[in-house]
Structure 1
């Protein structure tokens, strides 16, 4: 692991986005921006899974530091009749960034949506997971 002992504590934030193709067949089952399958409410479960993933990132990615996360926010939106978008925002006051935590949270939320909806259709595709924004530390990034 990289030694961050001499770094200053700063406010840091990262936002990651997962874009997912669900297809019209699955989207048609949603009511009031939520779908409940035999496994339970899809988006609510995915949000919880994403939050858990953020907290466990250092256990999954070998060189990540264990961090005391200040906050996690996961939003899932239906963006058209076939796609959803998952945004995972992670905040911390620390010596290292939270990009990996945000990317992990968005990824696991998307995988949870897949798991929850696979009984309806297995044509889903996690199309893209990317870092949208990072602030704090040496550099700020905005990828839109």
Structure 2
């Protein structure tokens, strides 16, 4: 993967499940500046399985058009306390709200800690999150 990244670049496109998230995390931790494509679980599952291979062509193309690169140097003022204040953690509605944010930002569904890290790495600010939350309340 590191040779591919050096020569032509890498897009990480894993299944939207726990093993897929772990593979994505390990690759991103080991190899910098990979592009990441995400697809919603609902768009990539059958009655028995979850996997990218179950998505239709249009959803796959949309995911690839909306790749993000996670970089450590982006400036973000987000903290875990902001997640508590914005009800993204520690609230009955937190999981559903995080799902909406992940979908809007095209960075996948995740727990609070992972969403915070992803938001920080793409430069999302507290103000950006507040705007997204307000937009989706309507």
TM more than 0.5: no
TM-score bracket, normalised by the shorter chain, equals under 0.3
Q: Pick the structure with more helix per residue.
A: 2
Q: Choose 1 or 2 for highest CA Rg.
A: 1
Could you say which structure has the higher strand fraction?
A: 1
Higher RCO, 1 vs 2 (CA within 8 Å, ≥6 residues apart): 1
Instruction: With the length of structure 1 as denominator, give the TM-score of the two structures.
Output: 0.24
